[in-house]
Structure formats: structure tokens, C-alpha cells
Amino acid sequence: MDYTINVRNRLLNLDTPIVMGILNVTPDSFYANSRISTEAEVIERSRQILAEGGVIIDVGACSTRPGSTPASEEEETLRLRRALRILRQELPEAVVSVDTFRPEVASMAVKEFGIDIINDISGGSEEMFRTVSRLGVPYILTSVKSSMREMLLDFSEKVQQLRDLGQKDIILDPGYGFGKTLEENYEILKVQEHLQVMELPLLVGVSRKSMIFRMLETTPEESLNGTTVLNTIALMKGANILRVHDVKEAVECCKLVGLCFSSLA
């Protein structure tokens, strides 16, 4: 389906799938090679995402990997302010999302730095819904449900809540790796196309996750090939945005899948 989202009064077209590059300003992300700490690294990684064809830079300052202890709100805010200040100075026109489950952090990011999108991996809350609706920015709603049936019911209820609050741009994320067993992730991926009934754009983030390296008995560092395979399947089942560590490879994946489908049309 054809979708657009409003980003700072500009329409971002999702008719052709796009890539969101991950910028982790955390010391404890599950994928060690993605951790960024210095000003120079923030600039280098941001420029790399855009140079390799990424459209959105997704900044996260609080690790949500399984078994981790989340950073305090104060620490998350401090990390984000440092990174976002640099980003806005160096790349003022870049489309930036913030990965957070805290309404106050979301509010700070938008009000102080004009962040374009809030990416909430928590499954949503009334407070967050009210916050993003007031801020008027696109919102990524992640599901922590473990079956497609539960996911569709939950999405339907929460999308209606957001609509009632006046939220316009909503992106759905099936939440691979969140609240799901290894097997449940694959059961949902098998029928991911059912989410198109919601008539909303779909973001998929499987990059180097445990659903890949546990299944293949490898490590996050060895999971690029598995990531590309699952990204290809996700695109064929309706993904509009791929959230990834490896931007160049994901952009190539989008291009080749797009060529296959356009040649068959």
C-alpha cells in the first residue's frame, strides 16, 4: 500500500521501502560494534547512515536488550541531549527519530531538538499516547504481543486510542524480540502480511537480534547474513521501513526486492 508520513511539514514517501539506521549512544547495547560514545563517533556514524542510503537516523540512549537494567531517565536524557545537540548542529536537515519508552524523554527530544519521530518499543501507554499527540510527531507503536491474533486486537485498540487523541501519523512495529519466544517471532513473521489489514505503514527491526543468532547458534557479530535474509522476507510481507545496524546492505536489499516486484507487476 502507498503511505506517507508528515515530517516537519514535509511528506516522507514510503511507497518504496526505506531504511532507518541505528545510532546507539549506550555503553551496553547487545551488539557491541554499534555502541557510540564520543562526539566524533556520533558525527561519523550519522554521516555513514546517510551516505549509505539511510533515510532516518534512530537514536537510542537506553538499552532494552534482554536481561539489561535500563538506564535511569536522568542518564538517558543526558546521553540524548549530548547526541542530539551534535546531530542538529552537523546535520540539521536529517530525519531523526528517538528510541524511548519514556514520555518525558520524548517530550524533551521534540521540544528541545525538533526530533521528527518517536520510536516507542514499550507497547505504548496512555501517558505516551497523550504526549505524542500533543507533540504532533509521527509515532512508532511497537507490539509486545506473542501471536498475530493478540497483536491485531491490541493494535486495533491502541490505534483507536491514538486516533481519538488526534494522532495522525502512526507506524506499526510487530516488535520482533519483545515479549516473544524464539519460535513466536518466526510464527509472526510467517503471517506478517496480515498486519496490512491495519492500513498503516509497517516498520520491522530484526537486525542482528537473538532470533537470528540463537537460531543459527552464532553471535550478533556473525548475524549480518541472517539479518539480510529476514529483512528480505519482511519486505516481501509488507515492511515499509527496515530498522538496521548495517545500512548499505539493507538499502541493497530494498532495491533488489523492489526490482523483483516491479518486474513482475
Residue of 45, 102, 145, 209 marked catalytic: 209
Distance from CA of residue 19 to its chain's centroid?
9
Question: Catalytic annotation on 158?
Answer: no
Residue of 134, 243, 248, 255 marked catalytic: 243
- Tell if the pTM clears 0.85, that is, is over it: yes
pLDDT digits (tens, 9 = 90+) for 27-74: 755 444 545 668 888 899 999 999 999 999 999 988 776 666 778 999
pLDDT category, 263, cuts 50, 70, 90?
A: low
Question: Catalytic annotation on 243?
Answer: yes
